[in-house]
Amino acid sequence: MHESGAVASTGYMWVAAILFIITYGVVMSEKVNRAIVALVAAGLMIILGVLNQEAAIRGIDFNTIGLLIGMMLIVAITRQSGIFQYLAIWSAKKVNANPWGILVMISLVTAVTSAFLDNVTTVLLVVPVTLLITEELKVKPYPYLFSMIFASNIGGTATLIGDPPNIMIGSATGLTFNDFAWNLTPVILVVMAATLIPIYFIWGRHLRAAPEDRQRVMQFNEFEAIKDWRLLKQCLSVIGLVILGFVFAKLLHLEAATVAMTGAAILLLLANFGHDPEHQSKHVLDAFNEVEWITIFFFVGLFIVVHGVDSTGLLKLLADKMLAMTGGDLKATAMVILWSSAVLSAIIDNIPFVATMIPLIKAMAPTFGGPEGVMPLWWALSLGACLGGNGTLIGASANLVVAGFAERAGQPIRFMRYTLVAFPIMLMSIFICMYYLEWRYL
């Protein structure tokens, strides 16, 4: 059986490549659940001898898995307190229920929250309140939902924990929460501001609400949204400690997964303290049910599949081809990665794309003088993959969640209608990133 890292025969390379292409194709077709596809492909990688089981387990990035599960549990418990609904109502009242002001405020709340929590969860919590506010104001919810999709993906790009591609890049390279915040937040602030400009000219300037409707929104009591003050205090304390843990992780010699999982465990303990065992079991089960297990097992299978392809030397071959194409020039390579990541992430899910690109960029390190030399390529991959997700309705999970809510509310977001406006705005954000990368790193 072929060991990971050993020189692979061309036969194994072909097996791995065909399995990988079929996996991608079936995931894109959306005919079979993506977790099933990835796990079946991972099993076949082992059965067909590309990897043995030990090598397959080594291929799984448990830091990414642990970080995702930990943050999902923290969010699952926090959402029970009602804080997200509070924020949406508070932000609407801060701008005197002005329709354009509400759009800006809700976009900013979504962006900031998405930087610290998974962006799918953020939109899950903010969309229902937004729909309620737009209904009371008698304004079309479409511009608000459109802006929210963009804000969630833009905000998620700013930090290590905001978007799965960043979690994967951080885990594979040892880049910390501070590294992401320092390198990506400046350009994200510009991208967020720039995105609101076309949205204003397309919809914002036409948003009007009658004084009596605005008055009705002003009478909402945001404090009524808080369902459990004790839980809210516990959640905010733990989230604060977890973020501090991310900031000082390098000094403390801790991985991000340890910080997130420990935070989740402490929050579960605090939220269930003093309750009888039966009550505790129900609460813990509810929290675990909120974890997106489909996403988690999709990651597990995908890591094994990509590791199988990588172990045959195929990705090293592709990296060499890409370097030959760009003439080994760092700037040209960064631009190819940025633009290809953005366009491909708009068409396909950015998670498998990033999983494939990570070993590819690692293989380029010797050409550019080691791990430090390829830093601009990691930032290009992160910006392209995260922001590219805004380009179409299927580019990121958050987009589909918002579309689902909109459909249920009788305000469906159509694929082509969304893409015709979203794709050009997404390309504008990539142009901004291109100049930023050039100015700061290249």
pLDDT of res. 404: 76
* Percentage, residues of the chain above pLDDT 70: 98
Provide the pLDDT for residue 394.
73
Is residue 9 scored above 80 in pLDDT? no
Gap between the Cα atoms of 322 and 364, Å rounded: 9
pLDDT tens for residues 284-316?
Answer: 999 998 887 887 888 899 889 888 888 888 877
Q: Would the pLDDT of 333 be above 80?
A: yes
Q: DSSP label at 6? A: S
Asked if 322 and 335 count as a contact pair (C-beta separation under 8 A), the reply is no
282's CB contacts (< 8 A; 6+ apart) are: none
User: In the prediction, which pLDDT does 132 show?
Assistant: 82
151: confidence class by pLDDT, cuts 50, 70, 90: very high
Average pLDDT over residues 161-174: 88
The mean pLDDT of 236-257, rounded to a whole number, is 88
For the record, the structure tokens of 416 come out as 């082509």
Q: From 398, 397, 394, 364, select the one nearest 381 (Cα to Cα).
A: 364
- Is there a contact between 406 and 145 (Cβ–Cβ < 8 Å)? yes
Residue 157: count of CB within 10 angstroms of its CB = 32
Instruction: Name the most confidently modeled range: 137-151, 208-222, 353-367.
Output: 137-151
Confidence (pLDDT) at 256 = 82
Q: What pLDDT shows up at residue 262?
A: 96
Q: 205: burial class by Cβ within 10 Å (0-12, 13-18, 19+)?
A: exposed
Which pTM was predicted? Answer: 0.80
Which pLDDT tens digit goes with each residue over 34-81?
889 989 999 999 999 889 999 999 988 888 888 888 988 988 888 888
**Domain residue extents for the chain:** 10-59+83-225+292-440
Sign of CA dihedral 7, 13, 19, 24: positive
Residue 6: pLDDT band with limits 50, 70, 90: very low
The sign of the CA dihedral 101, 106, 109, 111 is negative
Q: In terms of Cα–Cα distance, which of 403, 405, 401 is closest to 416?
A: 403
Quote the CA–CA distance of 302 and 27 in Å, as a whole number: 11
Mean pLDDT of 93-116: 90
Cβ neighbours, 10 Å, residue 201: 10
| pLDDT, position 285 | 92
How would residue 278 be classed by pLDDT, with cut points 50, 70 and 90?
Answer: confident
Q: Output the pLDDT for position 116.
A: 83
In terms of pLDDT, which residue wins out, 152 or 309? 152
424-436, pLDDT tens digit by residue? 999 999 999 999 9
pLDDT tens-digit profile of 132-146?
888 888 888 899 999
Q: How far apart are CA 402 and CA 387, in angstroms?
A: 17
- Mean pLDDT check: name the lowest of 122-131, 295-304, 386-395: 122-131
pLDDT at position 1 is 47
Question: Does residue 184 have a pLDDT over 60?
Answer: yes
Q: What is the pLDDT of residue 42?
A: 94
Which pLDDT belongs to residue 317?
78
Closest CA to 328 of 384, 371, 369: 369
DSSP state of 349: -
Quickly state the pLDDT bin for 4 (edges 50, 70, 90): very low
Lowest mean pLDDT among 233-247, 392-406, 409-423: 392-406
| pLDDT number for residue 266 | 96
Q: What pLDDT, on a 0 to 100 scale, did the predictor assign at position 172?
A: 87
